[in-house]
Structure 1
Amino acid sequence: MNFYRITVFTLSLLPSIASAIDLQPNDIVAPLPGKNHAMISYVNTESGTFYKNGSAVSTRPFGSPDVGTQSAIARVSTSYAIQDLPTISYIQIPYGTIKPEGSLASYAASTGIGDLTFATAIWPYADREKRKYFGVAAYLTAPTGSYNSQQAFNTGENRYKSDIQMGYQQPIIENLDGMIAVDTMWFGGNGQCAAACFSASNTSLNQKPLTTTQLGPIYKINQNYTLGASYFYVAGGATTIGNTYQNNVVNTQRYLLSALAYYPFGRISLQYGRDMEIKNGFAETRRLIVRYTTEF
């Protein structure tokens, strides 16, 4: 298989990897019914060294790669009950920019609307007194974002994605809780993959399911401030272009630190993280997220 066909395609994976279902501290806590919230998020990431089967690649065009992304994400949610089970649904849409620089500067940047996501979560078990929660969520992402098959970078993916996630949270000691969540994402096919698949004309792109496990502690300092730390292990997601298997399984470990502040006017959260180990793709050297959530 042509090496550059593999590596150029990997550029198009950046948006989908970045959209893994990351949870904030206490996202597994069941919401009270009858609440409406709006959330605005700013996400900034920086990715550098490219890896192929665990080894850093320095051949052209990967002498000094630098890929930056910036996006603003708007989300509106509503909580309710289904047969007395806490439930929440939301819709969200991103708008952002993917900008290749360094040795990748010859590739065109992409700016535009991302893909629309719908989600619903339900809690079969929620004990507020004992602070024990088990929830299940389903996500569907539709190909509504900006996409140009002649570009390797796109803010939209031109394919459907679905995800099922399960999460559990309970106290460890006093104000310290522990959480664990597992989700698997399935990908629809993209029949218009050209530049990202190193093809002069449109060809088919298919991807295997991608599974993410996340776990970590959540510490409630007081009624206003909460801290959290999460470890992520992401596996799977190998791709096929046309009839050719790419042998590019995602095998990534990363971390995310969180700080949440609750005020009368809403909640502000700050998150920072990066990759710790990666097998295939660009290593993310910085992930910075700022969110504001308010009730209406």
Structure 2
Amino acid sequence: MKQTEFRKGKTYPLRACASPHAGAVLATLAALAGGPAAAIDVDAGDYTALPVGSKLALVYYQRAERDKLYGKGARVPLDAGLDSDVGIARGVHFMDIGGYIVDPQFLLPFGRLKAKDGTGFLGDTGGTGDLMLAATVWLVNRKEGNTYFGVTPFLILPTGQYDRNRALNLGQNRARFTLQAGYITALTTSLSLDVVGDFTVYGRNTEFGAAGATLEQKTGYGAQAHLRYHVAPGFDLRGGVFRTITGETSVNGARQGDRGDTTKFNIGASYFVRPATQLLATYGRDVSVRDGFKEGNRLNLRLLQVY
């Protein structure tokens, strides 16, 4: 799935707040303003083209626990904590346009964020996130060789819940555009490789913070690679690595020096419990974080139904 590790993440980043404790982490929190910072994570196999007329209904759930906070590569001396329970409802329809398979789709995140311990002053929030509209166009579609290449534009609309007076928000109050490309190839009869890259450009948030400042952010980039071992038809074991570079933010033109750089991994499995019903589970965590909360544990679950 194309998810926002709402990192999807998949983390819902934060907005800085006025608090006597916030000085040490202000730049870090400003970099994580109100939603996913950059990159759209996918699950291995997402860039497989299905037959024209296929419809998918998917539901995702992610539990993420964060217990460390970093600023410019150094751990902030604070007993930080942030937990999230995030879901995504997604619908996909495969169709033919001009001889190419295209899959218009929507993704609607929802969930809850709760800060704790030394960052408990950030509070908690719940509700819906920003609606995502997307459509992959497959330029290479060779089912017989398990080889696919697709390009996906994402338009992310500022529809999620946002309150400039709250430290945590599921919406970002700004539009974003991501262009992603994904490639799948068979390495052997039982091993396949997925490689995905993207970049994200951001609109302005003109209601940032209690003073209604203007938040801007430079382009962000993401890359990921996945290996799948096909144990049997409909059953695979998988592992992935992810690198996300988030663009530096500025508030009312003042640069925050908060360019992010995060590396993470996950491992898991998928299984078709019925011919048209798939269950997927992965476990992951951050390996390194330059700015922001570091995820110590992340559990992702997905239910997929083909119609």
Common fold: TM-score over 0.5: yes
Secondary structure of the 1:154 match is: coil
In structure 1, what is the equivalent of residue 118 of structure 2?
Answer: 103
Match of residue 201, structure 1, among 206, 211, 224:
211
Please show how residues 67-78 of structure 1 align to structure 2 within 5 Å. 67-78=82-93
**1:240–1:231 CA distance, 2 compared to 1 (3 A):** same
Q: Which runs of 4+ in 1 moved over 3 A?
A: 2-5, 10-13
In structure 2, what is the equivalent of residue 228 of structure 1?
Answer: 238
Please show how residues 201-220 of structure 1 align to structure 2 within 5 Å. 201-220=211-230
In structure 2, what is the equivalent of residue 44 of structure 1?
Answer: 63
Please show how residues 1-296 of structure 1 align to structure 2 within 5 Å. 3-10=24-31, 12=33, 15-17=35-37, 20-58=39-77, 63-194=78-209, 200-264=210-274, 266-296=277-307
In structure 2, what is the equivalent of residue 197 of structure 1?
Answer: none
- What displacement does 1:8 show? 3.9
Structure 1's unaligned 5+ residue stretches are 195-199
List per-residue Cα deviations over 1:39-63 (Å, max 9, x = no partner). 11111111121111111110xxxx2
2:44 touches 2:226 (CA, 8 Å); kept in 1?
A: no
In the alignment, the residues of structure 2 paired with residue 141 and residue 192 of structure 1 have an alpha-carbon distance, to the nearest angstrom, of 18
2:248 touches 2:260 (CA, 8 Å); kept in 1?
A: yes
List per-residue Cα deviations over 1:73-100 (Å, max 9, x = no partner). 1111100112221211111212111100
Secondary structure of the 1:94 match is: strand
- What displacement does 1:108 show? 2.1
In the alignment, the residues of structure 2 paired with residue 4 and residue 64 of structure 1 have an alpha-carbon distance, to the nearest angstrom, of 12
Secondary structure of the 1:24 match is: coil
Which TM-score applies when normalising by structure 1?
A: 0.92
Secondary structure of the 2:36 match is: helix
In structure 1, what is the equivalent of residue 3 of structure 2?
Answer: none
In structure 1, what is the equivalent of residue 11 of structure 2?
Answer: none
Secondary structure of the 2:61 match is: strand
In the alignment, the residues of structure 2 paired with residue 53 and residue 40 of structure 1 have an alpha-carbon distance, to the nearest angstrom, of 35
In the alignment, the residues of structure 2 paired with residue 73 and residue 110 of structure 1 have an alpha-carbon distance, to the nearest angstrom, of 16
- What displacement does 1:7 show? 3.6
List per-residue Cα deviations over 1:88-121 (Å, max 9, x = no partner). 1111212111100011112221111111111100
In the alignment, the residues of structure 2 paired with residue 236 and residue 219 of structure 1 have an alpha-carbon distance, to the nearest angstrom, of 31
1:25 touches 1:227 (CA, 8 Å); kept in 2?
A: no
1:24 touches 1:258 (CA, 8 Å); kept in 2?
A: no
Q: CA RMSD in A?
A: 1.5
Structure 2's unaligned 5+ residue stretches are 1-22
In structure 1, what is the equivalent of residue 17 of structure 2?
Answer: none
- What displacement does 1:4 show? 4.7
Alignment-mate amino acid for residue 173 of structure 1: T
Secondary structure of the 1:21 match is: coil
In the alignment, the residues of structure 1 paired with residue 63 and residue 267 of structure 2 have an alpha-carbon distance, to the nearest angstrom, of 15
Aligned length: 284
In the alignment, the residues of structure 2 paired with residue 291 and residue 5 of structure 1 have an alpha-carbon distance, to the nearest angstrom, of 34
Secondary structure of the 1:129 match is: helix
**1:152–1:206 CA distance, 2 compared to 1 (3 A):** same
**1:8–1:286 CA distance, 2 compared to 1 (3 A):** same
Which TM-score applies when normalising by structure 2?
A: 0.89
Amino-acid identity (%): 25
In the alignment, the residues of structure 1 paired with residue 296 and residue 247 of structure 2 have an alpha-carbon distance, to the nearest angstrom, of 21
- What displacement does 1:3 show? 4.9
2:39 touches 2:199 (CA, 8 Å); kept in 1?
A: no
In the alignment, the residues of structure 2 paired with residue 272 and residue 186 of structure 1 have an alpha-carbon distance, to the nearest angstrom, of 29
In the alignment, the residues of structure 1 paired with residue 259 and residue 124 of structure 2 have an alpha-carbon distance, to the nearest angstrom, of 26
